[in-house]
Structure 1
Amino acid sequence: GVYMTWVRGSAGGPILGMGNTLAGVLILLFSIWAVRTARQKQFQQHQRWALRLFLVCNVTWFFRVGMFLWILLTGGAGVDFETFTGPFVTFWAYGQFIIPLLLAELYFQGLKNIKPSTQYVISGVLLGVTLLMLIGILVVTVGAWIPRVVG
């Protein structure tokens, strides 16, 4: 992805390119930390680094699902569809991996917290985000993936 972004060129300009490049760097770092903690037999830490790695490996999927959800909710406010730039694209260039990583940290905090009320709040937030993701998946499936498969 980094090669395609900077050598071959891609949509979204340099800001989206920087976000994708940073995601690529995080993939390398998180994979090193996941392997290192596994070798040190720190399996709880390994599990956390492996989940973070999984999330940053899927940033293009998060980008697409989040973009289609945004278009559904706002009509595409903050997106210039000709240049694929704009305030929302700038935000989502980094939000595509920062938000999933923050949600993972919230989940990890929920595992540590023994207070039921805190666990309910965290579970509610994660349920809400899951429902938003479901809507985004449905929108991108109907709006982009099915039309390409069916023709």
Structure 2
Amino acid sequence: MTDVLSPAAGTIRPLSEVPDPVFAAEMVGPGLAVDPTREPQTAVAPITGTIAKLHPHAFAIAGDGDGGIAVLVHLGIDTVQLGGEGFEVVATEGTHVEAGDVVVRWDPATVEAGDRSPIVMVCVLDQPAGAVPADRAGEQVAVGQRLLTWPA
């Protein structure tokens, strides 16, 4: 079993509440969302592994070991349109990270001020929709605290 840590501080939400149909339908993968507190934050690696893809607004980490999971973290909705503005990439694509290591610094309030949702999606890639229960919806979570356990 793998603990998947929260990359942001805020309130846990089911993916079905995300204002993006692809994430809401779990087409990217099952998981949870975090409605972040509106203050500067450091987005951390949710699992130990290798940063397979890294953008200012999103990153994917391939977990270590046989049967390791891959997790996508997406900071906000339509934030790719910001071209990196408001985000500071700290890590490097292709490097190994430990769960809890800082990957990106960002400010959810700045994202929201640009008429975009700052909600953070955390998806387990290549897994069936509905595989992560939303029973923690409404709970507060801190950066680096357990968000979910895989397999659920």
Question: TM-score if structure 2 supplies the norm length?
Answer: 0.22
Question: TM-score if structure 1 supplies the norm length?
Answer: 0.22
In our comparison, the structure showing a higher alpha carbon Rg is 1
Q: Which has the higher helix share?
A: 1
